[in-house]
Amino acid sequence: MRSSGNNSNRNHRGAGNSRDDKQKRTGRPPRPEERRYGKQGGPGGPAKPARKRPAPARSREYDAQIEERNRARHDKPAPKLPKTHGEPEGERLQKVLARAGLGSRRACEELIDQARVEVNGKIVTEQGRRVDPDKDEIKVDGLTIASQSYLFFALNKPAGVVASMEDPEGRQCLGDYVQNRETRLFHVGRLDTETEGLILLTNHGELAHRLTHPRYGVKKSYLAAIRGPIPRDLGKRLKDGIKLEDGYARADHFKVVENTGNNYLVEVSLHEGRKHIVRRMLAEAGFPVDKLVRTHFGPLALGSQKSGWLRRLTNTEVGQLMREVGL
């Protein structure tokens, strides 16, 4: 009987340690961490995670519409806010100069102090002058600065590239070098497909028009590879004029740059812009051109710019071009 009572006490102590008996004695509901869940989320096992529904697939057309709406929203011009009472019009002159690439605002203030800046033909010496860069003519050291809205590039066109912004036959053209630009560019003048060298690209219509108009006579220089021997009076013949089917063509300058055996490299400068003009002049004189490169366009030089490279013109170069045609 004693041993039976001992077993009963042990069982009672063991049962008293269970979570269920403890809850019965205390009379409180089980805590969340004490609850047991079965396979289906009920008592006796772990909860089964809920299945997520897959997101519906979107079509490419729908994604394209979203992209187009976002782009249209961001491409909208910034709203023009009304001026506060007494606010002066225009931008500070030193800010416009700095944006044009003439240095920091402090450096541009020094340009004004040195009386090197003029607005609409009058030299400005006081700080804080406000201007409208789209209407006012601003010059530094006599050169017109380029407005922010205009772009000017120089390309060393390789041989085989068509001198047009688009080509219906799918050949490589100038437009391939200026893709993804914010504004549409166009070329200034033309070069033959097989002619290499300097060609300008811009969105400044008036400057492009004047640079190619015969009235302004902008000079272009070319290096031509021909085979000799060549007579001593070839330069004189070219300067006096070569008769072509569309009239006489005259060179402004001619010189032999290099000579190796019967291979000659000559420089020809002229201000005309007729099609194939240099090739036609030399061929009519008896010396067909093997290779032709344009090295100068007005005051700009090709220099060491590599074939196929595009570079942005400096403000000084733009000012030189504008002065060349009276802008």
Are 39 and 46 in contact, with CB atoms under 8 Å apart?
Answer: yes
Angle formed at CA 161 by CA 159 and CA 165, multiple of 5 degrees: 150
Distance, CA of 305 to CA of 220 (rounded, Å): 17
Are 322 and 143 in contact, with CB atoms under 8 Å apart?
Answer: yes
Per-position DSSP letters for 46-99, written without gaps between them: PPPPPPPPPPPPPPHHHHHHHHHHHHHHHHSPPP-PPPPTTPPSSEEHHHHHHH
Q: Residues, the chain, total?
A: 327
Are 96 and 133 in contact, with CB atoms under 8 Å apart?
Answer: yes
Give the DSSP H or E segment for 263. strand 263-270
Are 44 and 37 in contact, with CB atoms under 8 Å apart?
Answer: yes
Distance, CA of 113 to CA of 225 (rounded, Å): 51
CB atoms within 10 A of CB 261: 8
Residues annotated as catalytic (active site), given as ranges:
192
Distance, CA of 267 to CA of 275 (rounded, Å): 18
Amino acid (1-letter code) at residue 52: K
C-alpha of 177 from chain center? 10
C-alpha of 239 from chain center? 41
